[in-house]
Structure 1
Amino acid sequence: MNPGAKYIITHSFWRHHYDVSAPNNTHLFHIENSAFTPGKPDLTLHRGSNSHGPVVAVCKFRHFSSDCEIGLADPTRPGKMEWGDLHKKGFLERSYSFRMRMDDGTDKTFIWKRTHSLGNGHENHKLVEESSQTVMAVFSAGSIFSKTAGDLDIYVNPSSLFNLMALITGIAVVEKTRRGKNTGASAGGGGGGGVKLGLEVSLH
């Protein structure tokens, strides 16, 4: 499959932040990654190459819980965020879903799930539409020792809002899982869990 849109995600060595570029090296987004600042979202996605650009999406990881919140900026109402909850499904669940309203007014559910047949990383996820199981996007996770965090290939392009949702939710899954594994390793346990993304968004 040839992607309709492709995003290349890189990170600093200690993952202090992420950057998102197009294949032609155009810098599209800068993502602040904050785990310890009270009141600050864990992930803040700015349009442009640094934190001075407008905020277009945020993600908050709730303390003492596997739940998260995600917010998208409404382009018709500058400074306003549409919020939704992200819920973990079960203890060992490896799929993550969100629900959003499409341009045609229908509500659809999309699911991130692990895949071994698609992608070119060591831990890949595919995004499928729940009812049809159509593959909408693939997140190929890069090596932990590489500056490349992964590539996001989007195979359909319903709207720029969908692309943004796929981007912020894909990175949220990767970052939440990474933190869970680090916490588990520090505690002498196994890998960490994930989250189920149960988000309904309508920005029209």
Structure 2
Amino acid sequence: MASAKQPNAESSKSHDHASEAASVDTQLSAPGDLGPDDGHRIFNVYSTTSFTNYRISQSDDKATLYYVRASTFTPGKPEITFHVGERGGPVVGIANFLKFSSQSKIGLGDPAEPLKMVWEDLKKESKDHSKYRFETTVDDARRGFLWKRTRSIGVEGSVPNKFSESNFKLVDEQTGELLGIYSTNGIKSIKKQGKFQLNKNYGPEFDLMFLLTGMTLLERLQRRKHARGGGGGGGGGG
């Protein structure tokens, strides 16, 4: 069973400096620079009929790539489960929300085969939930990545809603390179929630990690909104 390694003090300091340098959207890339290439892909996120689960498809394929089940009041079940294709398809990833914590455990694989699971941590890096960090292995090396809230860069150069909490960018922690984006669809559609854009092709495991951590952020954000509105929320923590 694999788990994320924590960086030493010196690397943490260098990571902090890189993170600060990448905090301004315009330092990363102008919207017009996000043109298509071999790694540029768009993933659409839709709510199901019940508005509790989701379907993810690639923009060039109407078929469901992942069915995302979100569980709130089901003890013993992950809060997020990724099925290949439709509901009931093979499980390839999960997210467990730790109780009384903003941390999530991200699991790649099927919990039915625990010895094959690869576990990573998705941790909050800011008090206002605007920055989260995870590590994963890319090209046989451990690397850190940051999901950061954005108000100026949208999918495919669009301008996001500046008042929304649901727009995020993914950056390489060390280099500050912009790797991906999520933009909410706002009120444009009842079922279409938003779009992910991934600018790099690091392989299928990274694709899954990108989508799984992104959906974890969005689901936790929805639960915080419900809790603020007095609608409960479940799932534990921020």
TM-score range, shorter chain: 0.7 to 0.9
Is this contact kept in 2: 1:46–1:54, CA < 8 A?
yes
The equivalent position to 1:34 in structure 2, one of 58, 61, 71, is: 71
The equivalent position to 1:116 in structure 2, one of 132, 138, 151, is: 151
**Which of 8-17 and 155-164 deviates more?**
8-17
Amino acid at match of 2:86: S
Structure (1/2) with the larger helix percentage: 2
Aligned residues: 186
Partner of 1:2: 35
Correspondences of 1:11-30 after superposition (within 5 Å): 11-12=47-48, 14-23=50-59, 24-30=61-67
Correspondences of 1:1-204 after superposition (within 5 Å): 1-3=34-36, 4-12=40-48, 14-23=50-59, 24-50=61-87, 52-73=88-109, 80-103=116-139, 105-119=140-154, 120=158, 121-122=160-161, 123-143=166-186, 146-186=190-230, 194=238
* 1:91-139 Cα deviation digits (max 9, x unpaired): 3241011111112x22111101111221144331110001111110011
What is the TM-score normalised by the length of structure 1?
A: 0.82
Unpaired segments of 5 or more residues in structure 1? 188-192, 195-204
Aligned alpha-carbon RMSD (Å): 2.4
Amino acid at match of 1:65: S
- Please identify the structure whose Cα radius of gyration is greater: 2
Amino acid at match of 1:22: Q
- Secondary structure of the corresponding residue to residue 16 of structure 1: coil
